[in-house]
Structure 1
Amino acid sequence: MSEAIENLSVILLTLRNKLLVIAGVLITGVIISFQFTGPLIEKMTVDLLPEGAKLVYVSPLEVMMLELKLSIIMGVLLTLPLIAFYAYRAISKRYSIKIPTSIGKSQFLFLCLAVVIMFVIGASYSYFLMLPIFLKFLYIDAAESGVTATYSIFKFISFIATTTAIFGLVFELPIILTFLTRNGFVKYRTLATYRKHIYILFLVSGATITPPDAFSQVMVAVPMVVFFEISMVIVRLIGVKNKLSKPDPSATAVGITKRN
């Protein structure tokens, strides 16, 4: 556990030193994404608003703030690969990990392709399967109680965008955990030991990003648990390929600070 905390400290130190670069990519992504938020909101409304429900805005700046939030979400998604690269490089320097050039490029391209594909699958599951089912369920449940469904456009679209982005990231679990264990950053035994804690984290996440009902929370939490278990099976079958050597004294946190 202490070693994991030390590795996290090294990663945070590296990210702090690269903060200007990360901020630059984030701001650029937000500015570019902002141009597409209008058509995106319209498409989400057409695709997912239950028939008979209505969208309203309750404050003059609500639509503009919604567009800003969507652009920030897309900007963060564009920035995550850069953050992951800096984090990997920080740990690689700490343990003096060297990947052979002959296989490095092919593995990198395959990894990038797999990451994109899994994100698209996860986002598609959320947008085309999960969200239509339980948005309709919630609408019918409200209608049977004699309530007219009038949604705030900010809350409705924000919920859709946040849930879709989160599921895109959740579907990356098999790739992330396999990569970490293959390179010796995380041990299978550690993941198995904290399995129950991870389940609780998934349930809390489901309760945080969904409406306060058990159905929607389960719809979010169950795929997280399933993909975690799929990741565990893959990790157990593949095993650890590269064991980490002891940290290089020259690659301590202070050394990383000077090089960056």
Structure 2
Amino acid sequence: MLNESKSEELSREELAMTLFEHIGELRKRIIYILIVLVLGLILGLFLADPAYSYLMSQEPVNGMKLHALSLWDGIGLYMKFALVIALLFVIPFAFFQLWAFVKPALREREQRAALTFVPMALVLFLGGLSFSYFVVFPMAFNFTTDVATHLGLEETYGVTQYFSFLFSVLIPISLLFELPIVIMFLTQIRILNPVRLRKMRRLAYLILVVLGTMITPPDFISDMLVAVPMIILYEISVFLSGVVYRKQQARDAAWEEEFGT
């Protein structure tokens, strides 16, 4: 009895140590991400000026005068640009840190497969930026200006208001484009599977439609032009999750056949 109680105490201590080690490791990864975020913001401050000049030379703002309505508008604008530029570095680095955190629990082949998600995260984020800037934002901008013209309003825009509107469209859509990577990664580490995703399909559709209506002008066409690609992205995510899951099942079956259950 005495030996059993001692072994139980040791197992509890080992479990507590393992838990604290995981928390410490997670804390270290989060600190790394915050450091890269700060460095990305600093770099973004240097790149904000050429990025601002480029956007001001493009439609629909090309030739339109924007006004500073506050002494802080210029500084706030630099910070907004710096944040978007920093996300280009933070998102793939955050995926890499997440991979490094769960790496000990993965088999060697799963580690290599999960590592490929890091560059894919950057590609999808850039794809989301392109889609939101060249498709969704002009549609949203034209809708709002048409309403102002219909009401006979003189259009005078503050630079902060314009770019806040721009980034409120760009950032959410760009982050939603990471959905396939997130689902594939969670499938790779065996948290999600395609069966569960198919059961969640109706709820997922509802959430995506609601998000689409929140970041677009209040008209049916605009909502559908955003919601439909989001739903397609979800279905692509389910398909890719199925690909990962079937490979896992095949590897597990081969493992059991070779070494037993």
Match of 1:117 in 2: 123
**2:84 pairs with 1:78:** no
RMSD: 3.4
Moved more, 221-230 or 232-241: 232-241
Query: Which of 8, 21, 24 is the matching residue for 2:32?
Result: 21
> Percent identity among equivalent residues?
26
Match of 2:192 in 1: 186
Match of 1:60 in 2: 71
Does the aligned pair in 2 maintain the 1:183–1:241 contact within 8 Å?
Answer: no
Moved more, 225-234 or 161-170: 161-170
Higher helix share: 2
Structure with more relative contact order (C-alpha pairs < 8 Å, separation 6 or more): 1
Match of 2:137 in 1: 131
Does the aligned pair in 2 maintain the 1:184–1:242 contact within 8 Å?
Answer: no
**2:60 pairs with 1:49:** yes
What stretches of structure 2 of length at least 5 have no aligned partner?
Answer: 1-20, 253-261
**Count of matched residue positions in the alignment of Structure 1 and Structure 2:** 232
Q: Deviations over 1:180-214 (max 9, x none)?
A: 32442312122222223323332443344445555
TM-score for the superposition, normalised by structure 1: 0.73
Instruction: Pick closer, same or farther for the CA change 1:222–1:69 going to 2, 3 Å.
Output: same
Match of 1:158 in 2: 164
Please give the alpha-carbon distance, in whole angstroms, between the structure 2 residues aligned to 1:242 and 1:73: 36
Moved more, 44-53 or 129-138: 44-53
Q: State the secondary structure of the residue aligned to 2:153.
A: coil
Please give the alpha-carbon distance, in whole angstroms, between the structure 1 residues aligned to 2:115 and 2:89: 17
Instruction: Pick closer, same or farther for the CA change 1:17–1:108 going to 2, 3 Å.
Output: closer
Does the aligned pair in 2 maintain the 1:53–1:149 contact within 8 Å?
Answer: no
Instruction: Pick closer, same or farther for the CA change 1:116–1:11 going to 2, 3 Å.
Output: farther
How far residue 146 of structure 1 moved from its aligned partner, in angstroms, is 0.9
Instruction: Pick closer, same or farther for the CA change 1:183–1:240 going to 2, 3 Å.
Output: farther
Q: State the secondary structure of the residue aligned to 1:147.
A: coil
Instruction: Pick closer, same or farther for the CA change 1:79–1:113 going to 2, 3 Å.
Output: closer
Match of 1:149 in 2: 155
Does the aligned pair in 2 maintain the 1:33–1:71 contact within 8 Å?
Answer: yes
Match of 1:253 in 2: none
Match of 1:31 in 2: 42
Q: Deviations over 1:155-181 (max 9, x none)?
A: 221332343233333333233323432
How far residue 241 of structure 1 moved from its aligned partner, in angstroms, is 2.5
Please give the alpha-carbon distance, in whole angstroms, between the structure 1 residues aligned to 2:85 and 2:33: 14
Match of 2:108 in 1: 99
Does the aligned pair in 2 maintain the 1:171–1:227 contact within 8 Å?
Answer: yes
Counterpart AA for 1:126: S
Does the aligned pair in 2 maintain the 1:115–1:175 contact within 8 Å?
Answer: yes
Counterpart AA for 1:71: A
